[in-house]
């Protein structure tokens, strides 16, 4: 089944000039890029986007990081897109990252991990609405 999902290239990957490498990996894995957007999170957008994490101890670090620089959003389509992008992205915990994943190659830590990807169809629909407005 063709699915849509959101992928964010985080500020650290932009600062380290890893955008082209990440997009190439995504395309090489058969994803179609249907829309792109360059933007910067502000505290309000961050709280809205990451609402499920707002009460967690790590949230202030996440918000500060996400607001620290530009982010690139990609609207992706592919059969089984959500499962496949999560596999390509890799684990949030550095010690659990498989070699060759985006986070293993372009992440520096837990928060500054290079990317974010929708983890369910419900979250994908919500995230796409927040970032792209549709």
The question of whether 116 is a catalytic residue gets the answer: yes
The single residue of 21, 48, 53, 116 carrying the catalytic annotation is 116
Measured distance CA(41)–CA(97) in Å, rounded: 26
Q: What is the 3-state secondary structure (H, E, C) of 65-78?
A: HHCCCEEEEEEEEE
Angle CA 66–96–16, to nearest 5: 40
DSSP 98: P
Measured distance CA(66)–CA(128) in Å, rounded: 17
Residues marked active site are found at: 116
């Amino acid at each position: 089944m063709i699915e849509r999902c959101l992928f964010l290239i985080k500020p650290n990957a932009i600062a380290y000039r890893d955008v082209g490498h990440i997009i190439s990996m995504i395309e090489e894995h058969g994803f179609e890029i249907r829309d792109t957007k360059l933007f910067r999170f502000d505290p309000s957008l961050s709280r809205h986007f990451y609402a499920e994490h707002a009460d967690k101890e790590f949230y202030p670090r996440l918000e500060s990081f996400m607001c620290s620089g530009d982010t690139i959003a990609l609207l992706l389509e592919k059969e089984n897109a959500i499962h496949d992008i999560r596999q390509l992205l890799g684990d949030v915990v550095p010690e659990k990252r498989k070699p060759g994943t985006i986070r293993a190659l372009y992440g520096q830590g837990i928060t500054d991990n290079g990317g974010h990807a929708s983890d369910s169809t419900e979250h994908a629909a919500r995230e796409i609405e927040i970032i792209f407005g549709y």
